A and B are shown apart, each in its own frame.
Chain A
């Protein structure tokens, strides 16, 4: 528990920009360490993308459990400011002046950027027909379907007999300018395919993939379960293009690279596993604060191995997915590390300016 008389406390103020998983985590850790925190969130509610996700891999626990636990950890020393964005940051002799869009001015000793990510806009891959064909949806749309509690159907209410998942949509694709892997879409696709099978045991499920990157603990076992228990098919080849049939089903063109032949397959519902992209807001702040941005347009920390929450600018720290795609667990770990390092920094400036 937090001790208000904690001698280690610097009693300084930190402004955290972004109230998603990283921002909430860092806010509660810093408050526990005795710091004053102002958490700025652009949406009406804190929680970030987790607000829109039904269940989480690898154990399919409800997303709200994690959200509640992060929210409950926020103490009174965290001041939450929703529906606010930062319009500019002016460095002071010590600390920063942060001017909000509401023209209100705040002062802080250190800044933490926890601005997160956007999901890839699937309409940019026009050949997959998102926004054109009514039965092409994204993984985020499917989560909202799960969240609603309504049965999974096609756009016109039919129970789908065959559902396809397209991997790497907006990731590993130079045509959209994103060469990087978004890391979490593979396992999301496996999770969502299992969830559809749970609801519709008669449905045939297909994952169209190039590589399945089951890199973290329990991921490979989940893939194994998808094959062994749920009879989900994995077909190796990247979907080249889609077309809509008269009955609104979707026909895909793909090379079955394991038989080396072109393959045609019709599905009733097609799910595009969209990846991570950097937020324009992050890039604006990066340019304002002179934080370097990589070729992938994610933020570059001072040292990617050893100083991954630091920037070259004293007092400005980074946490979470503005540095690249991360799972929720990894985001929480990263934001916790950021909080510790930020706390240490505040203690150092305390010594310099007592």
Chain B
């Protein structure tokens, strides 16, 4: 019988126990509207940057909540801060401030 093992490859895994939640804590204090996201994707569908490059602002919010800081940092530079996402969001999440607050928080971590 083939032994498929029991471990999950580290690069595939979101290690929620070890992930760094400090950026999320910063966001909860400075842009708590991110907590109300229902992952509808309206923001991503309407995103100016997302039409051209691989940028998914809905996913940014999810990565933030999981404490996935490294992939989050890579996304930050893609946003043009146009604010169309804020216009369509059914939950009133202020995504522009979310991006700015994530940048502030990740800069502090350095």
Interface residues of A (CB under 8 A from B): 127, 168, 172-175, 210-211, 236-241, 253-257, 260-263
Contact = CB atoms under 8 A, between A and B. Distances in A.
A210 B73 CA distance: 27
Nearest to A173: B90
Nearest to A237: B41
A256 B45 CA distance: 8
B92 A255 contact: no
Nearest to B41: A255
Interface stretch (B2-10, B19-27, B46-54): B46-54
Nearest to B40: A238
A241 B46 CA distance: 8
A257 B39 CA distance: 8
A238 B89 CA distance: 10
Given A240-B46, A253-B46, A260-B56, A174 B41 contact: no
Nearest to A175: B90
B38 A237 contact: no
> Looking at chain B, what size class is its interface with the partner chain?
20 to 34
Given A174-B91, A238-B90, A240-B46, A256 B41 contact: yes
Given A174-B92, A257-B40, 14 more contacts: A174-B89, A210-B38, A239-B45, A240-B88, A241-B45, A253-B46, A255-B43, A255-B58, A256-B41, A260-B44, A260-B56, A260-B58, A262-B44, A262-B51
B65 to A, nearest CB: 15
25 contacts: A168-B90, A174-B90, A174-B92, A175-B88, A175-B89, A175-B90, A175-B92, A237-B41, A239-B42, A239-B45, A240-B41, A240-B42, A240-B43, A241-B88, A255-B42, A257-B39, A257-B40, A257-B41, A257-B44, A260-B44, A260-B56, A260-B58, A260-B59, A261-B56, A263-B45
B13 to A, nearest CB: 18
A263 B41 CA distance: 11
B40 A237 contact: yes
Contacts of A174: 89-92
B46 A257 contact: no
A238 B91 CA distance: 12
A252 to B, nearest CB: 9
A62 B50 CA distance: 46
B108 to A, nearest CB: 28
Nearest to B85: A240
Contacts of B42: 237-240, 255
A173 B88 CA distance: 9
A260 B38 CA distance: 14
Given A210-B38, A238-B40, A257-B58, A262 B45 contact: yes
Contacts of A256: 41
A255 B90 contact: no
B59 A240 contact: no
A203 to B, nearest CB: 24
A291 to B, nearest CB: 29
Contact of B44 (A173, A236, A255): A255
A214 B34 CA distance: 27
A240 B84 CA distance: 10
A46 B45 CA distance: 44
A237 B43 CA distance: 10
A151 B107 CA distance: 61
Nearest to B57: A255
Given A175-B90, A238-B90, A260-B59, A210 B40 contact: yes
B50 A262 contact: yes
Contact of A172 (B39, B45, B47, B90): B90
Contacts of B50: 262
A350 B39 CA distance: 56
Given A173-B90, A174-B92, A262-B51, A238 B41 contact: yes
Contacts of A241: 45-46, 88
Interface in B45-98: 45-47, 50-51, 56, 58-59, 88-92
A240 B45 contact: yes
B88 A127 contact: yes
B87 to A, nearest CB: 8
Contacts of B58: 255, 257, 260
A240 B59 CA distance: 16
